[in-house]
Amino acid sequence: MRQLDRRKGLTAMQQQYYLNLEKGFEGERFFKEYLQSITNEVIILQDLLLELNQTTFQLDLLCIMQQKLYLFEVKIYEDNYFIDKDIWYTLAGKEIKNALNQLKRSESLLRQLRSTLNKNTFID
C-alpha cells in the first residue's frame, strides 16, 4: 500500500484503509515489544495466517510459553464506544465489528487445529 500510494496515489477510501493497516501494524509491534520486555521465556509469533478445513483465520499474536498458548487480538480504537447486547457501537450509534467475536472464532479454530495435531498445549 505504501508503494501504491507513492506511485499513483490512493483514493480517499484506500488511504483510510492504508492508515488503518499502518495503525494496526504499529499497535501489534508495540504490544509485541511490551510482551518481550516483561519476559524472555516466550516465543511470539505475529500475524499468522492459518487454514483449517478450508477456513482461513488470522492471529495477531500467538505467544508460546511453558506448554501454553496465549492468543491476543490487538485493536487500536481511538474513540469512545459502547456495547449493547453484544453489539458494539460508536457514540454516534454506528455499529462496528465485535472484536470479541473475532477472538472467540480464532480461539475455537486454533483449538481445533491443535487437536488435529495431537498437541498437549492449552490455550489462554
Looking at per-residue confidence, does 66 or 48 come out higher? Answer: 48
Residues 60 and 103: their CA atoms lie apart, in Å, by: 10
| pLDDT class of 75 with cuts at 50, 70, 90 | confident
Burial-class residue 69 by CB neighbours within 10 Å (0-12, 13-18, 19+).
buried
State how beta strands 122-123 and 68-72 pair: parallel
Q: What is the mean pLDDT of the chain?
A: 85
Residues 15 and 18: their CA atoms lie apart, in Å, by: 5
Collect all residues with Cβ–Cβ distance below 8 Å to 46 and sequence separation of at least 6. Answer: 28, 32, 60, 61, 62
Res. 120: pLDDT tops 80: no
Per-residue pLDDT, 95:
93
Collapse the DSSP code of 15 into the 3-class scheme (helix H, G, I; strand E, B; otherwise coil) and give the result: helix
Q: What is the mean pLDDT of residues 13-20?
A: 87
Amino acid at 107: E
Q: What is the pTM assigned to this prediction?
A: 0.72
Residues 69 and 62: their CA atoms lie apart, in Å, by: 7
Report which of 82, 63, 65 is spatially closest to residue 73, judged by C-alpha positions. Answer: 63
